[in-house]
Chains A and B, each alone.
Chain A
């Protein structure tokens, strides 16, 4: 991976009003700072600019950003005992920066990875050669709750099952970006990535003039094009709908946002009906109108009560029938989640070698599979040092961060893992990178990750950057917004032209 150069700028931190006072880069890699008070070359302009601001100035900009978020109504919903609350999106105004030269490599690596994953999913629901050649134990697939036997034999367009993928990347102490997980079911966050840039433009207009940041606002267009490319009938303008579970879903804002940006219909299950001709229709003021492509933001389980959970009122009875008949495209395809499993994750490098005959560009984090007796043994011995995750949960729920847990929590988790080893994986606790984050009115290092979004239909597209999530609590490694995380704008900067 590319080495980062330092800048010749030294930050003043002598005065009490400096926002950099006591900024320590800890033991982790800092995305903006090369050494104490010395920025990386890529963050030179930003740090120079921040240097001209005192605490009061920065506070004003923070307030402006918060106001913008409130007015634009950028919210997410938190589930709690007192009911669902609409919270303002927690946003840190200090951007995270990546050199365009490094990004070029990451971009390539992400495309490679998703291509291999889609080959794997196609294979799993077809010939299963990967399994037959003993590259993955059959039980891992057959015991995966995201393997849908109903999908066997189906061939989605372009052989792509996961059309929209959100891949989580983290940078370890060694400066290398690792893939932490692939989200192939209904990954969310892209609307926040887009809105973060809008807010940054409002808060730092003078700064954005001087830096060449790769634009990100073509995502809705790319998404629209990808969805058109998977329509059953490629001629004419396909009718596209975003299927949402409704206003009480935590990502409802995003569903509405994407539908609006694409000029697509935002529909709930009750708005759709599958007729005797196995086609999907919307209930409109003019009667029933045919739908060609559904970007569904509902989990497989709830998609079609005729096939999956019978008690689902969010889905559309008959939807699977229509999909199998080839009358409607579903993105992502049902069953795509089989590759979104933290156990299957461990086999992705092998998939890249097997299907593409290439070496993986982006490395995996070392992963111990508790289903493997040797691995399990190691995990149980080193529980207090490892991060242990359930194979199929998202949102940071139900995981153990060994070094941050009490002895009692570790022991309780030991029982849970032993009770169902297949369902757990463990990874070393990474010293994931930090980035300067505004805490009160000065900067402090906080741990971050990155979720780029990859689209695959006829073509493959990667966002320029992605959503940077930040653990706002000091020392915390959990960045999920449902667990007190925030987010940052992500800048991919072209150094050659700056």
Chain B
């Protein structure tokens, strides 16, 4: 498999996962707004904060009203981290990797992109925004399903798994960060009593509510939820599970050298996080740290398999939009 192809597939999966995750973030935020009483203050600025794109946002908009934030995150194509930008990068990458994929996969992404382009105005309105976000989530899941059912689970597929899971792990930490920020800001007792609702929504945004109830079998409280989303071994969006998926893909790829060991270190680090002993501030430091370690892992993957392709190619291929970490 060409190094250039491997790189494009990896980024295709990352961008598509990012597309899905931005939809999840906005979804959970809207649900919270509807669940929480009016006197509990909850602004849209947190979404900007957890994505680490304050500068990019304020260079385009002056205030964090719903309209601005949703446009910035969803449809603003001048912002490379927006949903529509991610989707269009994903489309460019799959368009240039069509020979490696089942045709249906390309069509799925292409159709989703064409659909999204028509929804740019629809997202202003909350009701049509909900429909749009659902369509995105379903479209991304259809893509994953197509690959799982139609594509050989070969090296090409492994690079897709790698890209998907590194992005997913990163996003789970960001959604946990959102919970943590909201919690530490909600000082009033009236807000405190809605803590439960907050965590429920967080679980739901990662499709984990039902699983949590079945597996944890306790009432929903912060450290249990954190534990579950960081460490559970079976939940597809828990950080631990994402790392496991990556380890599994890496060990079957050629020339993996030291990577399995590096990944094992990261897994040990995650397992050592004790959510019961941490304050909200400490937790955010941990999550930030986790994000930067994922960044290091990405660099190692690139060094291993992608840098084989020539330098000018890396610059010209459509994947190189930097991940928008803080």
Contacts and interface: CB of A to CB of B under 8 A. Distances in A.
Contact of B305 (A70, A71, A285): A285
Interface string B87-116: 000000001101111010011001100100
A264 B310 contact: no
A285 B6 contact: yes
Interface in B286-304: none
B254 interface: yes
A409 interface: no
B98 A256 contact: yes
B2 interface: yes
A268 interface: yes
A284 B308 contact: yes
A137 interface: no
Contacts of B1: 284-286
Contacts of B114: 70-71
Contacts of A267: 2
A260 B96 contact: no
From DSSP, what is the main secondary structure of chain B's interface residues?
helix
Interface residues of B, number: 30
A196 to B, nearest CB: 16
B253 interface: yes
A73 B253 contact: no
A270 interface: yes
Nearest to A252: B96
Interface in A223-263: 242, 246-247, 256-257, 259-260
Contact of A270 (B101, B155, B312, B318): B312
B4 interface: yes
Contacts, number: 74
B255 interface: yes
Interface string A165-199: 00000000000000000000000000000000000
B90 to A, nearest CB: 13
Contacts of B316: 246
Interface string A399-421: 00000000000000000000000
A259 B97 CA distance: 10
Contacts of B6: 285
B8 to A, nearest CB: 11
A265 B308 contact: no
B155 A264 contact: no
B107 A286 contact: no
A285 B312 CA distance: 18
Interface in B1-50: 1-6
Interface string A461-492: 00000000000000000000000000000000
A282 to B, nearest CB: 6
Nearest to A258: B99
B4 A268 contact: yes
Nearest to B92: A247
A208 interface: no
Contacts of B308: 283-285, 287
Contacts of A313: 312
A266 interface: yes
A285 B308 CA distance: 7
A268 B107 contact: no
B309 interface: yes
Interface string B243-264: 0000000000111000000000
A268 to B, nearest CB: 7
Contact of A256 (B99, B254, B310, B318): B99
Nearest to A273: B310
B251 to A, nearest CB: 14
A271 interface: yes
Given A71-B107, A73-B106, A283 B2 contact: yes
Contact of B98 (A257, A282, A287): A257
A493 to B, nearest CB: 28
B292 to A, nearest CB: 26
B210 to A, nearest CB: 34
**Which one of B100, B305, B312 has the highest number of Cβ atoms from chain A below 10 Å of its Cβ?**
B100
Contacts of A207: none
B313 interface: yes
B11 to A, nearest CB: 14
A264 B107 contact: no
A72 interface: yes
Interface string A18-40: 00000000000000000000000
Interface string B150-165: 0000010000000000
Given A73-B106, A283-B308, A259 B99 contact: yes
B98 A260 contact: yes
Contacts of B107: 71-73
B33 to A, nearest CB: 35
Given A70-B114, A271-B309, A256 B96 contact: yes
Given A256-B99, A260-B103, A270-B309, A285 B3 contact: yes
Which 10 residue pairs are nearest across A and B when measured between Cβ atoms?
Answer: A260-B99, A259-B99, A286-B254, A270-B310, A266-B99, A270-B313, A256-B98, A285-B305, A73-B110, A283-B308
26 contacts: A70-B110, A71-B107, A71-B114, A73-B95, A73-B106, A246-B316, A247-B95, A256-B98, A259-B99, A260-B98, A260-B103, A265-B2, A266-B5, A270-B309, A270-B313, A271-B3, A283-B2, A283-B4, A283-B309, A284-B308, A285-B3, A285-B253, A286-B1, A286-B254, A286-B255, A287-B255
Given A72-B107, A256-B95, A266-B5, 6 more contacts: A257-B98, A266-B99, A270-B309, A270-B310, A283-B3, A285-B308
